[in-house]
Amino acid sequence: MNRRAHIRIFDTTLRDGEQAPGFSMTPSEKVRMAEQLEGLGADVIEAGFPVSSQGDFDAVRAVAATLRNASVAGLARAVPGDIDRAWAALSGARRPRIHVFLATSDLHLQHKLRIDRAACLSRAREAVRHACALTPDVEFSAEDATRSDLDFLGEVAEAAVEAGATTINLPDTVGYALPADITRMFTAVRRRVGDGITLSAHCHDDLGMAVANSIAAVQAGARQVECTINGIGERAGNAALEEFVMALHVRRDSLPYQTGIVTTRLVPTSEVLSAIVGIGVAPNKAVVGANAFAHEAGIHQDGMLKNALTYEIMRPESVGAAGTRLVLGKHSGVRGLDARCRALGQKLGGAELERVYRRVTELADRSKTVTDEQLAAIVGEEATTAPASGAARRPVAARGHGAACR
């Protein structure tokens, strides 16, 4: 039996995720979401940035006191005051983690921090030592790692490990990297720090590659991935937890990794987050979007009715979705219409089905989709109204499978 490497899921929905405008949460909302994430199976839950505000401090402390299985992380800059504040909020947790970060790119060092590389190296080492004096679980993040000089990045990572860090995070802070860049960076740093240290990936989605970059990191040796529910986060967001997890699940043939995520809880967790922040996901959002398992094109509907594998690479039930939806629209075919009618308890004959089909497509041209209520009304009307004598009919066979795949 082949053993699949375990990938730790570090969920930062409550920290990086809520930094997105409009996604902030109260302490009680963070506790509710944290409990949902723990039930989902997240290994580490980053609850906030305690020094940023009293509200965030209270939220981290409340989450730390509530969770029983997941590690609870609090973010801190590489300065003593931040680290002490993080520990004050985390000290009640069963499994506390202090997450220290410091920029390592020359761009950030020169223009944001206004320090040189030597000062960066010293500050990283001292900050990790300070955190390790409080708890043994310390993660160090090299902010803007993907735009850092690779040799210097490796030097900082080595210094952090020597100071006691057990996890080294290499973030693509601004979503700049390509998968090949991620592979090169993680391979080089892993050689510097050795296999006994957990490497972590934290990828942003500015170029739409956060999940792809996270997978590249795992293939290059990362054993922790930092992500968020629905992919929320700064600017274009973070790697979407549900997409990363299901990529590993569906493509087990090529990705020999596993997580502790209970996949049937993905959609419910997405819905809890949307309810808390009042912002839903786009209908075409992968895995959890309303259209993720919806089919309108007649060719797709015909295939789905014969074998769901023709157009679905995962079953909706596997992620906690209600099920496949065959949507009636102008691209739908007769087989899809017949299936919807049968689901509503209506078995139509050939001529009647043809008339209903014609009316449904005409309505869909005007209203985009046809609801079950509208369909039921059309069927009811056709059941009591005979077709006009000699009326021209559109041949069903001409659109029997609807529009082509687009």
Is the pLDDT confidence value at 390 over 60?
A: no
State residue 17's pLDDT score. Answer: 97
Which tens digit of pLDDT belongs to each residue from 333-370? Answer: 788 788 878 887 888 888 888 888 888 878 878 877 77
Q: How far apart are CA 374 and CA 317, in angstroms?
A: 27
Which tens digit of pLDDT belongs to each residue from 73-100? Answer: 999 999 999 999 999 999 999 999 999 9
Q: How far apart are CA 71 and CA 43, in angstroms?
A: 6
Banded model confidence at residue 375, pLDDT cuts 50, 70, 90: confident
The beta strands (E) that lie in 109-177 are given as: 138-143, 167-172
Domains of the chain from N-terminus onward:
5-277 (3.20.20.70), 294-399 (no CATH)
Cβ atoms of 7 and 41 within 8 Å: the answer is no
Question: Among candidates 386, 387, 370, 373, which has minimal Cα distance to 344?
Answer: 373
Is the pLDDT confidence value at 290 over 70?
A: yes
Q: Which of 31-45, 53-67, 143-157, 292-306 comes out lowest in average pLDDT?
A: 292-306
State residue 2's pLDDT score. Answer: 58
**The pair of three-digit structure tokens given for residue 176, joined into one six-digit string:** 């700049």
State residue 51's pLDDT score. Answer: 98
Count Cβ neighbours within 10 Å for each residue of 250-276 and write b for 16 or more, e otherwise. eeeeebebebebebebbbbbbbbbbeb
Banded model confidence at residue 296, pLDDT cuts 50, 70, 90: low
Banded model confidence at residue 141, pLDDT cuts 50, 70, 90: very high
What mean pLDDT, rounded, does the chain reach? 90
pLDDT above 70 coverage of the chain, percent: 93
Question: Residue 358: exposed, middle, or buried by beta-carbon count in 10 A (0-12, 13-18, 19+)?
Answer: middle
**The pair of three-digit structure tokens given for residue 277, joined into one six-digit string:** 């922040």
Residue range 368-388: mean pLDDT, rounded:
75
Residue range 148-160: mean pLDDT, rounded:
98
User: Backbone phi, then psi, for 311, in 5-degree steps?
Assistant: -135, 10
Asked whether the whole model's pTM tops 0.95, one would answer no
Query: Which value, in Å, is the radius of gyration of the alpha carbons in the chain?
Result: 26
Report the SS3 class of residue 238: strand
User: 98 forms bridges with which residues in the sheet?
Assistant: 74, 138
Q: How far apart are CA 77 and CA 3, in angstroms?
A: 37
